[in-house]
Chain A
């Protein structure tokens, strides 16, 4: 099975900071990677799909990059609404599994 590893697990940052979260796959997943944001008590929300495509309605300060086994989510200027937990997910249909990373909690510094 494909394993997804996110880093860091926790990130402390201030409003206005540029934030980068990394996700590594145990084998190549091409660009079949998504990023989700989850706030406490709420369902996850899709931010990025196919590694770099921005979901409709998501602010442009969010961006994704990478392919193969290494991916990043960048928030260009952290806003108060962005303090949340972020998950990457690989969705290689051929592997018949859809694996999430362990999550990165973005906290207020």
Chain B
């Protein structure tokens, strides 16, 4: 079964750090671009970051640039999001998503992990 499972969310104080993980299974992880998308409580979907298949190229939304770092370990079939200098407005469910090579759209999503930034 094709699956993405996020972990690492939790409660963190403003200014703190957190690392999210996304474990992939059921497909050749190393062949696909991967993305992070977040959704604040009661709000819409917001694209956060992406990484290409071999990890050599990344991009970020302006709201997280310089604070978040996306990376991947293809040997472990795992995607990461290192989040530093966290702010209250980073509070959201964070989803990892696989980009379909031909489709271009996000065809597989994880279940999400909640990050709460609060003192």
**A contacts, CB < 8 Å to B:** 1, 32, 34, 36, 38, 43-46, 49-50, 53, 55, 87, 89, 91, 93, 96-103
Chain B residues, Cβ within 8 Å of A36: 45, 106
Residue of A nearest to B49 (CB): A98
Interface centre among B99, B109, B111 (most CB of A within 10 A): B109
Chain A residues, Cβ within 8 Å of B107: 46, 49, 55
Interface centre among A36, A45, A91, A102 (most CB of B within 10 A): A91
Residues of B in contact (CB 8 Å), total 22
Chain A residues, Cβ within 8 Å of B95: 43-44
Chain A residues, Cβ within 8 Å of B100: 46, 49
Question: Chain B interface secondary structure, helix, strand, loop or mixed?
Answer: strand
Contact with A along B93-107 (1 / 0, CB 8 A): 001000110011111
Chain A residues, Cβ within 8 Å of B105: 34, 46, 49-50, 89, 91
Contact A97 B45 (CB under 8 A): no
* A43-B112, A44-B106, A49-B104 as given contacts; A102 in contact with B44, CB under 8 Å: yes
Can you name 21 A-B residue pairings with CB atoms under 8 Å? Answer: A34-B103, A34-B104, A34-B106, A43-B111, A44-B37, A44-B95, A44-B109, A45-B109, A46-B100, A49-B105, A50-B103, A53-B103, A55-B107, A87-B45, A89-B47, A89-B105, A91-B105, A98-B35, A98-B50, A99-B47, A100-B37
